[in-house]
Amino acid sequence: MIEALSSISNCLSNHMKVCIAEKPSVAKDIASVIGAKQRKDGYYEGNGYQVTWTFGHFCTLKEPHDYTPQWKSWRLEDLPMIPPSFGIKLIDNSGVLKQFGIIEKLVQEADEVINCGDAGQEGELIQRWVLLKAKCTVPVKRLWISSLTEVAIKEGFEKLQEGSKFDNLYAAGSARAIGDWLLGMNATRLFTKKYGQNKAVLSIGRVQTPTLAIIAQRQKEINEFVIEEYWELKTIYRETEFTATIDRLKTFEKAEKGLAYLMEHPFEITDYEKKEGKEGNPKLYDLTALQVDSNKKYGYSAEDTLKYIQLLYEKKLVTYPRVDTTYLSEDLHPKMAGILQQLTPYRQYTEVILANPIPKLKAVFDDKKVTDHHAIIPTGVSPGALSLDEKRIYDMIVRRLLAAFYPECRVATTTVLGKVGQVEFKATGKQILEMGWRELYQHETATKKDAAEAEKVMPNFEIGESGPHEPRIHHGKTSPPKNYTEATLLRAMETAGKQVDDDEMRELLKDNGIGRPSTRANIIETLFRRKYIEKKKKNLVATQTGMDLIDTIQVELLKSAELTGLWEKKLRLIEKGEYALEDFKKELIDMVVNLTQEVKRTHGRIINVITEPTTTTDQGAGSAKKSPPKPEIDIETLHCPKCKDKLLKKGKTAFGCVNFQVCGFKIPYQLMGKTLTNKQVYDLLSKGKTTKIKGFQIPGSDHPVEGKLEMDGDFNINLA
């Protein structure tokens, strides 16, 4: 087919097809496959094709002041801002403007355009906006591929689709962008002008605010948690520990009485059950699951994981990464053996699978569960030089594919019931009978530990047997809820805040998740940038600013994960052609109007902390051109220079190490009669010295002294 196209193109030299890829490296790959091998300024040419590229967003929705100069100033009386219609504009960047000029010229002279953008909602939006701005009037075809291998690109060009087939995808992308603009622009200005002080910008976003609310609510639960002591009765019988099934005891006195009672009676087995079963094979990776596991195993942030897998995708080693399904399309089943055969570094595992025909498992192959793309799998292309981070992510993806086809893991679960007098006891144990797919994960420390615990084989018990035992009292304390990590937050975003462990239930809730797999990492990073959350080890903690902001927002709609999840569901329905963009826009306009009226007439908490917004896909920042003042330096986010791993805290007279009793490090607020600014303290901590400071009062001197403060190797502060 490609050869036939080549022949026709040579005969009709004036018939030029312009391909627009998502970035230069992808354009180069496509050009190489279709024969456009002549490099020009901003594009490749040859064989009847011109292949050019974008690099990220070239266009954006117009800013408020583009509609009317009145909206340039942030004023309550101008809200809500509802443009009569939404327009787009080019981003004011010299590189963007130059490359767009090239694209525009090529499109104007083309006979046909082939949209080779990223095969997803955001990629569709980027390309459509560029074509709209370039005033494209010629027919548009769509290249839709799940990997960048030569085979995939060739097959994609043989099966080019009509661009109009993806109109609903474009409509969903437009609806998302307009929704983010309407809520982000209006709510940010509304709350900033109503509750912000000291030039504080209170950034509100359709997705970021409910995400922050999830973290803040957990923080409140932890802060308000009251630790309670409890006591449990345990005993050891035949080298097996049993725990009493009665309610936890609230006092040590009751536990002592219970222990005395246990010592007067023998232990008796009342029931013994051993069941054999199977541990289901893990599902293939979607982006969220990969981000969750990489955070658990390697501490990678969601953003880092997305970066590494994007690099693997561009190196043709894995399929399209921004996916929300854990299934493969059924037409991939015949190709699976070939992919596995090419994974030569994993031959010891692939030989086990390939010893028999690969089964068409419903848990793996299901067209009804596949959305724009299938789950993330290796392409079979042999990896060359990879960084350690890329190797780790690639290995995770390969092992997950292998695990899907490996024999099941067989286990035996034992439950034993007993009693001492009238007090009932219980013990459980698990034994792995056949490792099955777990063999693929024996190299992981956590799995080894789990396996070791599972291998604590319980003895066989006989119902009615009895004998001596060793009772004891276990003293414990209740634990507060755990802080979110990026892994658990991603899962919470995926399920609109619901705690769901079951894989099948998670699949059902995905349509109502907050954000999309491709945007969640960016939302988390946005909350970090705006100083609404911070990371303590692996834990995500809401800052005081973040807590204050959530407390200030009395409108539940803005911070409800469930309601935001319903919006996401409507966006997916738009994508399927089952809901209209105009209806979605009308709903959002009504909501913004009602929100504005409600906030204007209510009172709330004034927030003084200055935050620094940045423009993202979740519009909560206002103008991209005009940045507000930089935030004041928060010393309590810095680490002690002496301890390194401990934070500093604010005391009555000084900033000091949180572990001051052991470490002893502190910086007084006032030195030699001069009160230090946060910037001067920051310079001391980060650079070891300040700039020149006037006004030091030195004993024996009649006049104020000017000088720099310096910190020596023993962490003493001296005037230089």
Q: Convert the pLDDT of each residue in 671-706 to its tens digit.
A: 887 888 888 887 887 778 888 888 777 765 666 778
Same domain, 375 and 296: yes
Residue 520 has pLDDT above 80, yes or no: yes
Same domain, 576 and 590: yes
Of 405, 438, 466, at which residue does a domain stop? Answer: 405
- Give me 291's structure tokens: 């981000």
∠ CA 491-339-402, rounded to 5°: 45
Domain contains 609: no
Domains identified in the chain, total number:
5
* Contacts by 240-246, CB closer than 8 A, 24 or more apart: 240/416, 240/427, 240/429, 240/458, 240/459, 241/427, 242/267, 242/416, 242/418, 242/425, 242/426, 242/427, 243/425, 243/426, 243/427, 243/474, 244/423, 244/424, 244/425, 245/424, 245/425, 245/426, 246/423, 246/424
Per-residue pLDDT reduced to its tens digit, 265-311: 999 999 999 999 999 999 999 999 999 999 999 999 999 999 999 99
Identify whether residues 690 and 572 lie together within a single domain.
no
Return the CATH number at 413.
2.70.20.10
pLDDT band at 625; cut points 50, 70, 90? very low
Q: Based on the domain organization, do 30 and 152 belong to the same domain?
A: yes
Identify whether 619 is part of a domain.
no
Omega of the bond leading into 383 within 30 degrees of 0 (cis): no
pLDDT for res 719: 79
- The answer to the question of residue 113 being in a domain is yes
Residue 622 falls inside a structural domain? no
169 falls within a domain:
no
pLDDT bracket for residue 421 (50, 70, 90): very high
Q: Is residue 33 part of a domain?
A: yes
491 with 468, same domain? no
659 and 641 together in one domain: yes
CATH number at residue 107: 3.40.50.140
Do 350 and 422 lie in a common domain? no
Q: What is the CATH number of the domain that holds 292?
A: 1.10.290.10
Question: Which domain range does residue 441 map to?
Answer: 229-280+409-477
Residue 629 lies in a domain: no
Boundary-marking domain end, from 360, 384, 405: 405
Same domain, 34 and 115: yes
The answer to whether residues 148 and 246 belong to one domain is: no
Q: Are residues 443 and 522 in the same domain?
A: no
* Domain at 511, CATH number: 1.10.460.10
256 and 337, same structural domain? no
What tens digit of pLDDT does each residue of 303-348 get? 999 999 999 999 999 999 999 899 999 999 999 999 999 999 999 9
Q: What are phi and psi of 690, to 5 degrees?
A: -105, 175
474-501 pLDDT tens trace: 999 999 999 999 999 999 998 887 766 6
Let me know whether 25 and 112 are in one domain.
Answer: yes
Instruction: Label the pairing between strands 112-116 and 267-279.
Output: unpaired
Active site residues: 320
Query: Which of 124, 159, 194 is the C-terminal boundary of a domain?
Result: 159
Residue 240 lies in a domain: yes
